[in-house]
Amino acid sequence: MRQYVVDAFTDKVFGGNPAAVCVMDKWLSDEIMMNITRENNLSETAFAVREGSDYKLRWFTPGGEIDLCGHATLATAYVITKFIEPEITEVRFQTLSGLLVVVKKGELLEMDFPSYELKKVDVTEVMVEAIGVRPLEAYMGRDLLCVLESEEEVNKLNPNQEKINGLDGLLLHVTARGKEFDCVSRSFAPKCNVPEDPVCGSGHCHIIPMWANKLEKNNLVAYQASPRGGILYCEYQGERVKLSGKAALYSIADINL
């Protein structure tokens, strides 16, 4: 079985967020897909099978299957439009989060994702202990989103991974106003056995709705300030958010099953 590793939200290898992608003729068992995911030891491995005119797409972390993943969706669309069906410019994915459409626009791949509904929550001492600084505000969707005072705080952050496990939400995202970009952020996912997600697409389904409302603008350029770094071109549309990015192929390999 052929497997591709693609760096998403970057135009060069060793940047962005790496995802493994397997586009298959038929489904493997969940056990085998989890074993492949753990063997890869990346934040996400994506598995896709064509079903009719669409592809069914599933995402696995080393900690289990999840309901939404941006960078692995972008990586899968890159593989399909470059290697599987190079004549197409639109890929439709049936997923646990419903229909997701990815459109190829030059070097960019544009994803149409659902926005998470955010509820403002109190900043707690548990959050402060986990993050290492006191957030200005906190919001809850699928994940916990904390707003920090500055880009420098986001960059210097060294959170307590064990204490993050005690917070509500699947992932923890920290964000602040950017200098060169509209916003900067970092994403931590120890509950998924991923200490830091290099560039988190689903996280920006929390981050962008919040900043769009705060900045009173719908088009934003976001930077994920992980050690690898990544750029997302975003458009907030209320219940949906469009996330666009580039991708770079790192490797192609055959898995022996």
pLDDT score for 90: 97
> 156 and 225 share a domain?
yes
* 105 and 132 part of one domain: no
Rounded to an integer, the average pLDDT of 18-35 is 97
Domain shared by 7 and 91, yes or no: yes
User: Among 237, 142, 230, 125, which residue's Cα sits nearest to residue 186?
Assistant: 230
Residues 190 and 224 in one domain: yes
Partners of 187 in beta bridges: 173, 197
Domain span including residue 62: 2-114+243-254
Average pLDDT over residues 101-106: 95
- The tokens describing 192, both together, are 């998924």
Residue 126, both tokens: 């548990």
Half-sphere exposure of 253 (CA within 13 A, CB side): 11
| Phi and psi torsions of 57, nearest 5° | -125, 130
pLDDT tens-digit series, residues 195-234: 999 999 999 999 999 999 999 999 999 999 999 999 999 9
Same domain as 87, residue 13: yes
Which one of 44, 110, 153, 196 is the catalytic residue?
44
Residue 105 backbone class (left: φ over 0; alpha: ψ -120 to 50; beta: rest) = beta
Judge if 145 and 50 occupy the same domain: no
Average pLDDT over residues 154-174: 96
Check residue 173 and give its pLDDT.
Answer: 98
Helices (H), 12-124: 30-40, 70-79
Q: Are residues 230 and 249 in the same domain?
A: no
- 63 lies in the same domain as 131: no
Q: How far apart are CA 83 and CA 192, in angstroms?
A: 30
42-96 residue pLDDT tens: 999 999 999 999 999 999 999 999 998 999 999 999 999 999 999 999 999 999 9
CATH number of the domain where residue 145 is located: 3.10.310.10
Are 189 and 169 in the same domain? yes
153 is catalytic: no
Shared domain for 38 and 143, answered yes or no, is no
- Domain count for the chain: 2
Cα gap 140→170, rounded to integer Å:
10
Global pTM reads: 0.89
- Same structural domain, 105 and 40: yes
Q: For residue 217, what are the contacts with CB-CB under 8 A and spacing of at least 6? A: 182
Q: Are residues 126 and 231 in the same domain?
A: yes
